[in-house]
Structure 1
């Protein structure tokens, strides 16, 4: 438990969720219509930001978090690796149709390991203030893969 919990935070179990396209709740048995990835009913939220992010081939973001805001991303095209944790010690490979949710203040990074194809995300943030806190962290060399 020494490396996994830093500064009183258990990043492995801190609420990061990956929702695969195949496991989303469908509104109809035919698979068409609305799909629910995260249900935030009753939260009372009224501020939100929705946009897109494109990572070019072999591009990556720096380690960062979005302060007190929640963030959800949807992979619309391409494949990506998402890393998170105090030293980006956890990783999940994601592709088209997958969602990833980050609770507030979770350090994370998006990577595009593909040398030829860009990856496109649809991003939803719980506030439109544009907070991004860049972090100066040394990522671990071999992150733990989380399915």
Structure 2
């Protein structure tokens, strides 16, 4: 019987040196990786993925959307996504023609099912929208959709990061 994934299985402490180096890892908030697929209007950074920590089944990071910015229409393939709003007000539009809309505020969770075309919008003109993002695989899949006309056009899209400054 394989006890590898059984939480009740006894732990062999001869693995302690492996656990010391391959066990729990803390990723500092100022050490996130911006080398991720991007969607116009938002800035994603990876904290947890295969390349950084060896994650096999999840991807986690942050996303920032500047005031009044609206992303392009996109989906994340077969991945499920969970967005936790930390600061600001999120407006999500989704559907074949982005005909559905909902808003979320700090403390709210947003679930985005696989293949759902959507658009993230910062609904607060006074502050950036900051969120934590978790996906069901270790790849940050982003499929930008150009043949869906957004209901809320991304006319104020700024890609702001350490390299690209606000105009």
* Runs (4+) off by over 4 Å: none
* TM-score computed with the length of structure 2 as normaliser: 0.55
How many equivalent pairs are there?
A: 97
Counterpart Cα distance in 2 of 1:93 and 1:106: 17
Return 5+ residue gaps in structure 1 as ranges.
1-45, 142-147
Out of 96, 111, 124, the position equivalent to 1:101 is 111
Contact 2:72–2:150 (8 Å) recurs in 1: no
Over the aligned positions, Cα root-mean-square deviation in angstroms equals 1.7
Return 5+ residue gaps in structure 2 as ranges.
1-55, 153-167
Answer yes or no: is 1:76 the counterpart of 2:86.
yes
How far did 1:80 drift? Answer: 1.4
Matches within 5 A, 1:104-119: 104-119=114-129
* TM-score computed with the length of structure 1 as normaliser: 0.62
Matches within 5 A, 1:38-53: 46-53=56-63
Contact 1:89–1:139 (8 Å) recurs in 2: no
Higher strand proportion: 1
How far did 1:113 drift? Answer: 2.8
How far did 1:140 drift? Answer: 4.1
